[in-house]
């Protein structure tokens, strides 16, 4: 068992987390639906929901339960704990302005890619939303993160989370992923097409900061809109930003 596979020691806490995650993924739901979907007795589900409601983590409206705004406090605190936050966001703003396109910051945590922040406006998000937990192998920022990890770290992540397919274009073979990682290291950036969402491409770079965290910066586009010239410009801007962040963090040590 590796660091990502530890069994929860307190089952009740794990169950409460399952309820929170269910509401996050599916939106407001009634008691009977929650109990049925999570295979709980109605009385047990009610006790969990009532406790979470009293703590402010869940709100009941019109006999349906939704997540409470108290989670904003935790999310904001977690984001502010990232020591490189201001510097990364500053560089993201520059890239977004230069490209006239949104830029995403993805942070590796427990082997998954967390979408931390977006700079730039768009009519719709093609893949990410703030707080989204994704598999690292399915998009360019995640693949760029994997390229910054050593082989043992990648093996631990794959051993835990596997290489599940999100589309028929997703890399699901270790050898093929190893080739993609090698190409990313050689080119300095990752390029993914249709692996997270069919018809959506992404470009990403990775950086490993002195604090030990590994981050990815990237953009998502409709595949038909991404020319080779556009890819070159995006990768150049992302690489410049990553280099600036790394250099300035080294200076602050």
Contact present, 219 and 88 (Cβ < 8 Å):
no
Q: What angle do CA 119, 122, 124 make, to 5 degrees?
A: 120
SS (H, E, C) 105-120: EEEEECCEEEEEEEEC
pLDDT at 8: 60
pLDDT at 6: 55
Q: Which positions of the chain have pLDDT values less than 50?
A: 1-5
pLDDT at 172: 97
Q: How do residues 34-68 score in pLDDT, each as one tens digit? A: 999 999 999 999 999 999 999 999 999 999 999 99
DSSP labels, 41-110: -HHHHHHHHHHHHHTTSEEEETTEEEE-TTHHHHHHHHHHT-TTHHHHHHHHHHHHHHHTS-EEEEEEET
Q: What span, in angstroms and rounded, lies between the C-alpha atoms of 142 and 235?
A: 15
Average pLDDT, the chain: 91
pLDDT at 128: 82
Percent of the chain with pLDDT over 70: 95
pLDDT at 3: 45
Q: How many CB atoms lie within 10 A of CB 72?
A: 10
Which domains can be identified in the chain, with CATH numbers? 11-68 (1.10.10.10), 82-252 (3.30.450.40)
pLDDT at 2: 44
Q: What span, in angstroms and rounded, lies between the C-alpha atoms of 188 and 190?
A: 7
Q: What span, in angstroms and rounded, lies between the C-alpha atoms of 81 and 107?
A: 12
pLDDT at 1: 36
pLDDT at 123: 66
């Amino acid at each position: 068992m590796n660091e990502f596979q530890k069994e929860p020691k307190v089952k009740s806490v794990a169950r409460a987390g399952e309820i929170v995650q269910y509401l996050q993924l599916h939106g407001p739901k009634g008691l009977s639906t929650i109990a049925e979907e999570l295979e709980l007795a109605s009385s047990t589900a009610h006790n969990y929901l009532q406790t979470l409601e009293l703590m402010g983590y869940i709100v009941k409206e019109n006999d349906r339960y939704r997540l409470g705004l108290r989670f904003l406090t935790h999310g904001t605190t977690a984001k502010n704990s990232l020591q490189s936050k201001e510097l990364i966001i500053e560089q993201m703003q520059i890239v977004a302005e230069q490209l006239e396109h949104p830029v995403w910051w993805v942070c590796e945590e427990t082997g998954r890619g967390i979408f931390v922040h977006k700079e730039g406006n768009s009519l719709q998000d093609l893949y990410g939303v703030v707080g989204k937990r994704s598999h690292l192998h399915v998009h360019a920022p995640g693949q760029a993160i994997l390229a910054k990890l050593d082989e043992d770290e990648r093996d631990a992540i794959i051993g835990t989370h596997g290489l599940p397919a999100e589309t028929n274009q997703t890399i699901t073979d270790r050898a093929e992923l190893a080739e993609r990682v090698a190409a990313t290291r050689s080119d300095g950036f990752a390029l993914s097409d249709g692996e997270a969402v069919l018809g959506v491409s992404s470009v990403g770079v990775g950086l490993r900061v002195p604090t030990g965290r590994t981050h990815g910066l990237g953009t998502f586009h409709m595949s038909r809109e991404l020319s080779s010239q556009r890819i070159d410009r995006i990768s150049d801007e992302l690489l410049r930003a990553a280099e600036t962040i790394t250099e300035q963090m080294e200076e602050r040590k």
